[in-house]
Amino acid sequence: MALTFPSLGLAYFPVPKVACDSLKQALYERDTGRPFQPFQGPKGPITDIHQVLTSVPFHPSHLEGLYHYARFAVVRDPVERLLSCYRHRVVELGELAPGRHPDSVSAAALAEAGLPATPDLKTFIQRLPAYRAVSVSIRHHTDSLVAYLGADPGVFDLLVPLSRIDQVADLIAARSGRDDPLPRSHRSAGGVDLGDLDDDDLATVLGYYQADYKVFAAHISVPGIITAHRFARAEKGLS
pLDDT at 75: 98
**pLDDT tens column, 144-180:** 999 999 999 999 999 999 999 999 999 999 999 988 8
Best-predicted range by mean pLDDT among 99-113, 151-165, 182-196? 151-165
Q: How confident is the model at residue 221 (pLDDT cuts 50, 70, 90)?
A: very high
Q: How confident is the model at residue 182 (pLDDT cuts 50, 70, 90)?
A: confident
pLDDT at 202: 98
The residue-averaged pLDDT of 115-130 equals 96
Q: How far apart are CA 46 and CA 80, in angstroms?
A: 30
Share of the chain above pLDDT 70, in %: 97
pLDDT at 37: 87
The residue-averaged pLDDT of 100-115 equals 89
**pLDDT tens column, 12-34:** 999 999 999 999 999 999 999 99
pLDDT at 41: 76
pLDDT at 45: 81
**Domain annotation for the chain: domains and CATH numbers:** 3-235 (3.40.50)
pLDDT at 78 over 60: yes
More confident residue, 1 or 213: 213
Q: How confident is the model at residue 46 (pLDDT cuts 50, 70, 90)?
A: confident
Q: How confident is the model at residue 131 (pLDDT cuts 50, 70, 90)?
A: very high
pTM of the predicted structure, to 2 decimals:
0.93
- How remote is the C-alpha of 233 from its chain's centroid? 24
pLDDT at 104: 84
The residue-averaged pLDDT of 97-111 equals 87
